[in-house]
Amino acid sequence: MDTFIIEGGRQLTGTITPQGAKNETLQVICATLLTSEPVRIDNIPDILDVNNLIALLTDIGVRVTRHSRTSYTFQADSLNLDFLESDEFVRKCSSLRGSVLMIGPLLGRFGRAIVAKPGGDKIGRRRLDTHFLGFSKLGAAFEHVPGRDVYQLHAEKLRGCYMLLDEASVTGTANIIMASVLAAGETPIYHAACEPSIQQLCHMLNAMGADISGIGSNLLRIRGAKALHGCTHRVLPDMIEVGSFIGMAAMVGNGIQIKNVATQHLGIIPDTFRRLGINVIEMGDDIFIPHHDSYTVDSFMDGTIMTLSDAPWPGLTPDLLSVLLVVATQAHGSVLFHQKMFESRLFFVDKLIDMGAQIILCDPHRAVVVGLNHNKRLHAGNMTSPDIRAGIALLIAALSAEGTSRIANIAQIDRGYQDIEQRLNALGANIIRQ
């Protein structure tokens, strides 16, 4: 098991560019299953979750051409659907959360899909009900095979219908969209997720010949197409990585410029950091974070304690709450963090408490952070990364701490962040992989 050894207390300075968006990439790569024609996708991050999904598509017969480290062409013109029945396919799916996104396109184009109970982060229950309720309304039948822990789905012909989703699930919305674009008739989807990754997926599908309107809203209208064709698509910069770099620059930066962030797609992320007192300077499509000797948390207009909570887009993405919490440990002021969407994501704060942070974990969903205002630095610790986003939050904490820290299970960080230690070392960090 690889480990990061981090020398804390070093000031970082320079320029860094975010990778392509992980969540969008997983969706658009799976969307290539909807056509037999080649689809080129650029700005793909070279990270574990994405590479495992590409390998899985290759296993079922997708022809993959790698033009560069971040650019691929996919052509699903000769698939071996029998491989879906194999134990090897089930095993690979069970270790990769993104594999669930294959259901919609396989069902939409071929009328059948077999997907194992997906793996991924241990951040709480992530149910698939939304996906399967949507498929059922389109006319698919499914069954759970307990012995193999797989879901089998089949449909003679999917037919469009009105559906009101039980929750604004991002992967659920993406899956239902991909199943609907080839379904007969019209499919209005209300209470749809509208994250930038969903918007990008819809734009790509429209470029392939789909007919999707209402993009960016929670009411999508999809008119089924007879077939889709190839296209070229570019993945957006990863807004979670942008947010991670803002937090890192605030705590240990001596002037850091984050390049090509696609500011129009960041939503309330910059303003949320500003509420913690961080000076976020937007310069065209770049962001500059100057050195901060201190930063003061805003209070609400009535004087009450600041509360930050996650919510479906355009609310605050839950993926950044861990980073914001670490940043708050050195702020002047107090913040209540309310993690509404996942019940296990705050448990990593025990490690921050061990490092000297003043945090009260109220319950699995809420934590109060009393900022130290740089009067007392965090001290080094030995930690284990429980999930991707907690991993990067612990890395930021270690960079700001006094002494040398160790973070184990960094494969979790590798799942979502490309070459993270090399990129941060280029800014002046001292991170060694062992």
Range in 37-41, 234-238, 349-353 the model is least confident about: 349-353
- Give the residue with greater pLDDT, 82 vs 128: 82
Quick check: 125 pLDDT over 70?
no
Strand partners, 145: 150
Q: Say what the pLDDT of residue 2 is.
A: 87
**Angle, CA 112 vertex, CA 59 and CA 187 arms, to 5°:** 120
pLDDT band at 123 (very low <50, low <70, confident <90, very high): very low
**What CATH class does 22-234 carry?**
alpha beta
Model confidence band, residue 118 (pLDDT cutoffs 50, 70, 90)? low
Domain 3-19+237-433 has CATH 3.30.420.40: no
Mean pLDDT score across all residues of the chain: 92
φ, ψ for residue 253, nearest 5 deg:
-90, 150
Q: What CA–CA distance (Å, rounded) separates 34 from 208?
A: 9
CA distance 396 to 327: 8
Position 121 scores a pLDDT of 39
| HSE-CB of 411 using CA atoms within 13 angstroms | 8
Closest CA relative to residue 148, chosen from 90, 92, 88, 101 = 90
Look at residue 3 in the predicted model and tell me its pLDDT: 94
Question: Domain locations in the chain?
Answer: 3-19+237-433, 22-234
272-283: pLDDT as tens digits:
999 999 999 999
What the block records as the tokens of 263 is 């500011």
Q: What are phi and psi of 349, to 5 degrees?
A: -65, -20
Residue 275 makes CB contacts below 8 A (sequence gap 6+) with: 297, 298, 306, 308
Helix axes 22-31, 196-207, angle to 10 degrees: 30
Tell which residue, 155, 173, 152, 148, has the closest CA to residue 163. Answer: 173
Report the C-alpha gap between 294 and 296 in whole angstroms.
7
- Of the pLDDT bands very low, low, confident and very high (cuts 50, 70, 90), residue 96 is confident
% residues pLDDT > 70 (the chain): 97
Residue 145 pLDDT level (bands cut at 50, 70, 90): confident
Are the CB atoms for 242 and 287 separated by under 8 Å?
Answer: yes
Query: Do 3-19+237-433 and 22-234 agree at the fold level?
Result: yes
Sign of CA dihedral 153, 99, 393, 296: negative
Q: How confident is the model at residue 120 (pLDDT cuts 50, 70, 90)?
A: very low
Residue 122 has pLDDT above 70, yes or no: no
The confidence score (pLDDT) of residue 228 equals 98
Residue 31, pLDDT > 90, answer: yes
Q: String of b and e for 56-68 (b: at least 16 CB within 10 Å)?
A: bbeebebeeeeee
Q: Supply the pLDDT for residue 147.
A: 75
Across the strands, what pairs with 4?
Answer: 407, 433
Kindly indicate the confidence band of residue 127, based on its pLDDT and cuts at 50, 70 and 90. Answer: low
Which of residues 167 and 206 earns the better pLDDT score?
206
Q: What is the pLDDT of residues 40-62, one digit of tens each?
A: 999 999 998 899 999 999 999 99
pLDDT in tens, 381-414: 999 988 888 899 999 999 999 999 999 999 889 8
Q: In sequence order, which residues have a C-beta less than 8 Å from that of residue 109 and are 6 or more positions away?
A: 33, 34, 35, 182
* Diameter of the chain measured on Cα atoms: 66
Residue 388: both structure tokens together: 């991707």
Q: Which two tokens stand for residue 177?
A: 């969209």
Active site residue 121: yes
CA torsion, points 320, 325, 326, 328, in degrees to nearest 10? 130
pTM of the model: 0.93
Which DSSP string corresponds to 55-71? HHHHHTT-EEEEEETTE
The catalytic position among 121, 238, 319, 414 is 121
CB count in 10 Å sphere of residue 321: 26
pLDDT, residue 1, reads 64
- Residue 319 · residue 240 · CB < 8 Å: yes
Task: Tell me which of 239 and 303 has the higher pLDDT.
Answer: 239
What is the structure's pLDDT at 416? Answer: 86
- In the prediction, which pLDDT does 151 show? 77
Reference 8, options 417, 395, 418, 386; nearest CA is: 395
